[in-house]
Chains A and B, each alone.
Chain A
């Protein structure tokens, strides 16, 4: 793949775009805040400024928009980093964060919790845990099966995912169609509208645990993407690295899904866009994917909040925007992704 710019430049560019998108997200919304007012509000936390804005604005900025912006960035960053990591360690350009069943497992956990009438905190926790359990199951099957590890893991992932999806369908079937079923359906379509400080904290910890190692051993993912035998002969502990990367990516996916529902495509599309911009070298690709994912998610969330008078579920938007873009990439590059 020809890269157009140097990796470092791409990273700076994405960071700038992310900052600009964050400013826009603060200002846009049913309750609009001008950029001047926004900087006043933010700065007033550090130094004293005579308010030239209303108290409501301050509440909107700090209690509604700030958590939502942070959550959008974290979710986008996590899904995109998880996708990039899976693609490398499974030597498969089509790998995405749901490869090992983390999202379908989490979806089942959430649906079940809604069926049992749990509170929103329990729904989040249940989604997170069942996402982790699904992947643990996949890893266990993959370890026990003889033959090619990568193929076994991917096959086990497909199977566990389809079992989880079937279980989710069953939960929907028995759910109360007047209130539970819409709640499950809406949850599955993905949304950041529930962003509160509590959820933010809940998601931030596993995300940090997942993101930091992936960032630290990003160069080694290059070597893993050449294949197991080659990587081992170069002195890389393939099984340990792959398991560690898969666990980190799983933490990221399960944490994202548990706070925002099913948001597809980001984890597949963003790493590929970043591959085209920054090249395949994970030293640049990983940070670029993290920033790009955060930017993309902020963009999508702004559309979701502002396009229509009601919020459009994010999962629908990412599919509507992500899939055509991916088709465009395939047409341009003839499948040589």
Chain B
């Protein structure tokens, strides 16, 4: 399943936030969206998830305009993995993942055995079946992120949209979560993530989209994006970009640092 955005424009009142964004994320591809705070990443994601209406342009999920899809049908195509936050009430990991099956359950019913099996499979797939009975609010950030990903799998959507999945994670969990994301991409999921980390975007993504003030200023393979010029333009900082290991890795070294 692919996701295509065509000339997307959106404004909050008079303030234009998205000024004509186009791109396609193909099946089995990890697309990272880079950009500083306020560049329009969150608005872009909300539009793709059908959470914001009143945009102009088209968004196609699996070739279908999402405006023509009901909420339930859209939920079968795209799943949202939000930034980590603490829900007002704590649920068990199993109950949390079970909620992903909501679009299969009629509004007046509770989930049955089929949904529970799906939930169990999603937990297995993410390798967190052992956490099923734990309380979600008491997990580490990395575990919570994996639970939210399991919920997206239980939802059966093939397009996963992740809002800064590694932002609040420690070093180890960041790597764990990113390798799980890579594993899902390998299984044919289409993954779109926003990130503040250009180096990780370079190492893990298939393609990078650089967004500034509501416009795409660059799009392409990570090696085309992670350059000194673009980092200056995107973030307004001077860095040396160095290449390591046959250009499999690039690191950004700030110019004003300890000598």
Residues of A within 8 A of B (CB): 1-2, 87-88, 91-93, 213, 216-220, 222-223, 225-230, 232-237, 241, 275, 279-281, 283
Q: Which residue of B lies closest to A238 (CB)?
A: B71
B103 touches A217 (CB 8 A): no
A227 touches B87 (CB 8 A): yes
Are B75 and A235 in touch, CB under 8 angstroms? yes
Contact across chains for A235 and B95 when beta carbons are under 8 A apart: no
Q: Are A219 and B105 in contact (CB under 8 A)?
A: yes
Contacts of B72 in A (CB 8 A): 235
Q: Is B49 an interface residue (CB 8 A)?
A: yes
Q: Known contacts A217-B107, A220-B102: does B88 contact A232 (CB below 8 Å)?
A: no
Contact of A233 among B79, B87, B90, B105 (CB under 8 A): B79
Whether the pair A234, B99 counts as a contact (CB closer than 8 A) is: yes
Instruction: Report whether A225 and B89 are in contact in the complex, using a CB–CB cutoff of 8 Å.
Output: yes
Chain B residues in 8 Å Cβ range of A225: 87-89
Closest B residue to A146 by beta carbon equals B13
User: What is the interface of chain B, defined by CB distance below 8 A to chain A?
Assistant: 46, 49-51, 71-76, 78-80, 82, 85, 87-92, 95, 99-100, 102-103, 105, 107-111, 135, 155
Flag if B89 contacts A234 (CB, 8 Å): no
Q: Report the Cα distance A114→B103, complex, angstroms.
A: 50
Q: Evaluate contact between A232 and B91: CB separation under 8 angstroms.
A: no
Judge whether B102 and A223 touch: CB under 8 Å: yes
Q: Name the residue on A nearest B102 (C-beta).
A: A234
Q: Does the CB pair B110–A219 fall under 8 Å? A: yes
Inter-chain CA distance A233–B100, complex, in Å, is: 9
Is there an interface contact between B46 and A229, defined as CB atoms closer than 8 Å? yes
A-B CB contact pairs (8 Å), 21 listed: A87-B88, A91-B88, A216-B109, A217-B108, A219-B110, A220-B107, A222-B99, A225-B87, A226-B99, A227-B85, A227-B87, A229-B46, A229-B51, A232-B50, A232-B51, A233-B49, A233-B50, A235-B75, A275-B89, A279-B92, A280-B90
Query: Which one, B79, B88, B111, B135, contacts A93 given CB within 8 A?
Result: B88
Question: What is the bound-complex CA distance between A141 and B11, given in angstroms?
Answer: 24
Residues of chain A within 8 A (CB-CB) of B90 are 1, 280
Most buried by B among A216, A223, A226, A237: A226
B89 touches A236 (CB 8 A): no
In the assembled complex, the CB of B233 is this many whole angstroms from the nearest CB of chain A, namely 30
Known: A88-B89, A93-B88, A275-B89. A281 touches B95 (CB 8 A): yes
| Chain A residue, CB-CB nearest to B85 | A227
Smallest Cβ distance from B134 to chain A, in angstroms?
Answer: 10
- CB pair A233–B91 under 8 Å, yes or no, is no
Shortest A37–chain B CB gap in Å is 43
Whole-angstrom distance from the CB of B164 to the nearest CB of chain A? 14
Q: Which residues of B contact A219 (CB under 8 A)?
A: 105, 109-111
Q: How far is the CA of A235 from the CA of B73 in the complex (A)?
A: 7
Point out the residues of chain A lying under 8 angstroms from B155, CB to CB. 234-235
- List chain B residues, Cβ under 8 A from A217: 107-108
**Chain A residues with Cβ under 8 A from B51's Cβ?**
228-229, 232-233
User: Smallest distance from the beta carbon of B211 to chain A beta carbons, Å?
Assistant: 20
Is the pair B89, A233 in contact by a Cβ cutoff of 8 Å?
no
The complex places the Cα of A93 from the Cα of B86 at a distance, in Å, of: 13
If A93-B88, A234-B75, A236-B103 are given as contacts, then 19 extra A-B residue pairs at C-beta distance below 8 Å, sorted by A number, are: A1-B89, A92-B88, A216-B109, A217-B107, A217-B108, A222-B91, A226-B87, A229-B49, A229-B80, A232-B49, A233-B50, A233-B51, A234-B102, A235-B75, A237-B71, A237-B107, A280-B89, A280-B91, A281-B91
Residues of B within 8 A of A241 (CB): 107
Give the chain A neighbours of B111 by CB distance below 8 A. Answer: 219
